[in-house]
Amino acid sequence: MLLGPGVNIYRTPLNGRNFEYMGEDPFLASTLVVPYIHGIQNNGVAACVKHYALNNQEHWRGHINVEVSDRALHEIYLPAFKAAVQEGKAWSIMGAYNKFRGEHCCHNDILLNDILKNRWNFDGVVISDWGGTHDVTEAIYNGLDIEMGTPSHDNLPKRLAYNNNFLAKPFLDKIVNGEVDESILNDKVRRILRLMYRTSLDKNRPFGSINNQAHLDTAYNVATEGIVLLQNNNDFLPIDVSTKMTIAVIGENATKSMTIGGGSSELKVANEISPLEGLQKQYANAEIMHSAGYTSDDNDKRNSELKIEALSIAEKADVVLFFGGLNKNHSQDSEGADRQHYNLPYNQDELIEAIAKINKNIAVVLISGNAVSMPWQSKVKSIVQGWYLGSEAGHALASVLSGEVNPSGKLPFSFPKKLSDNAAHFYGELSYPGNGETQYYKEDILVGYRWHDTKNIDPLFAFGHGLSYTTFKQYDIKTDKKSYQVGDTINVSSTLKNIGNSEGAEVVQVYVGKVNSKINRAVKELKGFKKVNLIPGETKKIDLKLDVDNLAFYDESISDWKIEKGDYIIYVGNASDAIAKEIKITIQ
């Protein structure tokens, strides 16, 4: 069993585990999770989709009780799990640590019995997160199948022997005493056996392989396609490899390993290429100088020394490449703790400002899984979102910075200018992180770009944003009809042309919004996207199909989905804030 993928929604940039998840939009996460599961399970390994559900912060994760409307639950926080079960056919689900409406999610009657097993007909196994089980009766009756890592009681040693787990001897005693019907046990056993026959006992299960060239090639391709070019003033990037120059590479993240750390996302790789190594190989003609510039040890004296060293080499360099961001340390993109603030740690903001005063040719490469504030944005020429890219990180980043690969990644979440521009934080502590016992999702369905659009709050960088080294023109955008019925398919077409000088890929994005809705809605919601690669001068017609049924909202008065009739707007563009055309249609 692979303990992933994670599909919790990006609600706040402070969540320590956002880097493991698939962004702020339920349609995006639902689309990405299905082939992910198929790829895992086609190899005879069970995907374990996590953390079900509403595990959107690490702070107080073991006990915080989440209160959220049914509508937000079904429209925002559950769709990716539903797609994982009904389309992905996931073989296992992991319960979350937190509570929902007073019950821990690892044994939550509403989430596990009512929604997952009854409504969605999930036939797989529910496992607890490690130590996520808290009560024998709820564990027995509220949908949990496998209990993992229950913590100790006060009078027993840590990491109880299995017999003392809630679903072990206490469960057995209740069965033997006639307090629990054997049918409850049989259902759990049936699900576990089904999992065994789908994996280890499947005679057709293929053999695997480890660390071969195909793995490295895939790691490189995934990394290069995911890198996002956020800003590129005066076409500063790419930097020509044939030019003899001096490059100052500044930042601890140029050399720090990112496959280790971060909690249970830690990887044990055979090798990890650092950004500095990648640049040294890519820029053989250049003189490359490196200074850490800062240390994540938070040593003030050492940081002062490193700053002086960094400024010294920046002053001599033709180009400065600053590798900063977060780093999977505790409280910096890591399981078990949220970030303490929105700005860059370890005095990086001040260091970037100081470098920019003595060298204007600076590009900032952010290594992080979260949005960060950028008070220095106007003082640097280029900004690249570099994520945590795995074994081939250095090669992938060097390929993009040099132009060997044209960046084509798009942001899966919004970057607010300041933390209070984020919906969860706008409503204060009761919304995030809560009062120590309970938190209330006061923004309801207005998560991410839905909030920015609806409240007219400009983001720093918008959901779906990502630049290219070439230029695309999108035109002849239309729908096949102007009026549709429930059950119809809306065909949206456009023509995309590469009018620049480089081969590249663009992502056509389609959003839909309701005109004069009788209920509270976001201005628009993502309903379709397609990534298209074009050589210079090439033109392609793009077709995207949207199901009218997917325009439904969750009606709490009937506890079901409902389509509101009337006029809608189809928004077509290449980011949530970059719409090329709006088309009005009607749902009869």
Give CA–CA dist 532/216, Å, rounded: 24
Angle between helices 79-86 and 26-41 (to 10 degrees): 30
Classified as helix, coil or strand, 136 is helix
Q: Which residue has the tokens 């960094």?
A: 310
Mode of pairing for the β-strands spanning 228-232 and 246-250: unpaired
Q: Could you tell me the CA-to-CA distances from 198 to 73, 154, 202, 206, 207 in Å, in that order?
A: 31, 39, 6, 12, 14
Nearest-angstrom CA–CA distance, 42 and 39: 5
Q: Are 553 and 519 in contact (CB under 8 A)?
A: yes
Return the HEC string of 21-56: CCCCCHHHHHHHHHHHHHHHHCCCCCEEEEEECCCC
In whole angstroms, give the CA distance from residue 476 to residue 527. Answer: 20
3-state secondary structure 245-279: CEEEEECHHHCCCCCCCCCCCCCCCCCCCCHHHHH
Rounded Cα distance, 175 and 226, in Å: 51
User: What's the rounded Cα separation, in Å, for the pair 333 and 17?
Assistant: 6
Q: How do 92-95 and 125-127 pair as beta strands?
A: parallel
Residue 127: its H or E element:
strand 125-127
Structure tokens at 567: 């006029």
Cα–Cα distance measured from residue 284 to residue 337, given in angstroms and rounded to the nearest whole number: 41
What is the amino acid identity at position 20? E
543 is catalytic: no
Q: In what order do the strands lie in the sheet with 539-547?
A: 472-479, 489-498, 539-547
Using DSSP's 3-state secondary structure scheme, residue 306 falls into helix
Nearest residue to 470 (alpha-carbon basis) of 443, 496, 439: 496
Catalytic option among 25, 70, 129, 300 = 129
Q: What is residue 2's DSSP assignment? A: B
Least Cα distance to 245 among 286, 209, 193, 291 occurs for 286
CA-atom Rg of the chain in angstroms:
25
So which residues are the catalytic ones?
Answer: 129
